[in-house]
Structures are given as C-alpha cells and as structure tokens.
Amino acid sequence: MNITDDGILLIDKPAGWTSFDVVAKLRGARKSALKAQGITPTKRQLRVGHAGTLDPFATGLLIILLGDATKRSDEFLKQDKTYEATITLGANSSTGDPEGELTPVSDTVPSEAAVQDALAQFVGTVTQTPPAYSAIKVNGQRAYKLARKGHDVDIPTRQVTIHSLELLDYAYPRLSIRTHVSSGTYIRSLAQDIGAKLGTGAYCSQLRRTAIGASSIADAQEVDAVTKLD
C-alpha cells in the first residue's frame, strides 16, 4: 500500500515511540509524498489516526488509518487483542511498567506450580482497575496527565475478559506470558494483579502486541519501511 492511499496500514511500533509519534511520522510522510506528486494536501488527505494505543515502552501491532479510513476507528477498537509480555516479580512500579518508580515488595520465589495456579485464576471475566498512568479520561482530563501532576486518580473498575493466559517461560524473577484478551484490558494491571495474587508484587517489564482481531504482527511493517527513510 502506498503512503498516499486511503486505507489501513499495519505498523510494528518500536519501543520508545508513543502511538502519536507513529501517527505524526506517517502524516508527515504522507504530506511530503503528496506534495512530491504536485498535490496540495487537503485536511481530509492529511487525516491519520490509530486504532488502539500502545504504551511507549511497548512494541508491536499498531493499526494506522489513513484518510477516509479514519472513520473505521471504532471497528478496530472493539476487537480482541493478543499480547506477549514479560512480568517481573518482587516489586511494584508506580506506572505498572519499567518506566515508573520501583518499590520492592517481597523476595519470595514462587514455584512454577504456584505461578501456573495464579495465572489460571485470571482466565475468564475478571474485574480490573486500569492504571492511573493511562489515557483514560477522568473529569475530562487524561488520567496520566493528572497522575504526573501528583493528583490522586480514581479510575472505576471494569469487567474484562481474559480468553486465554499461557505461561511461556519462568525463571525468577521473570515470567513470560501470552494472553488473548477483550478490548479494554490492561496488561500492566494484569501484571500487578498477578503479583498481588502471588504476594510478591509485579510489573510489566516488556510488552508486545501480536494481534488485533484478525490483523497480525506477521503482516506489519516497520515505520521506516513505510516512509522509505534511510
């Protein structure tokens, strides 16, 4: 697909980029490509959006919508998602990820059987509290903006569905999982809840989204490949 076409791009977001960074880069590339064709871009042509935010530390599948395809955002936001994550036991993070302030909780080393048992308890419909450092709006403001200012952020709990939760590897303090979840599920919150269940504390130290509905990371491109950057 050409960057000047309206439609859907599957992007493999690198770590350290916000989802908006990707959108801004592709919007700039789209604008430059249109101008190179002698076309003065309209506001409609410069519409670029994404269907589902990924945290800056996370990598993986980001659905980018170009032009008129931005109208399809809700269609993708409601789809199930699949993630692979590394959870680090023994400490909690103020943000639920490696970018926050870490607080040691326990040096207890759970057995693999205990880990498997804990994971099994989260399969199905569960109640989850989204992280304070999230894009959820609270009283009209993004929760993470309030949290960064030191405000207490009260985010209501929600019901989410963990369709599957598989242990891929365990070598204390890290365990690797693959999970298929409903829309609205926060893997950072899941990591914290697993740590609480084990009594060790935990945070999500690595996160990669591999699927959104039928869209797979196997079909995604890197940003540089799409924008033809050197």
169 among known catalytic residues: no
Phi, psi of 90 (to 5 degrees): 105, -10
> Do 96 and 192 contact (CB within 8 A), yes or no?
yes
- Please identify which of the residues 55, 68, 224, 230 carries the catalytic annotation: 55
Contact 172, 191 (CB under 8 A): no
Determine the residue type at 95. Answer: T
User: Whose CA is closest to 89, among 207, 209, 194?
Assistant: 194
CA distances from 145 to 67, 135, 141, 148 (A): 29, 8, 7, 5
Positions annotated as catalytic residues are: 55
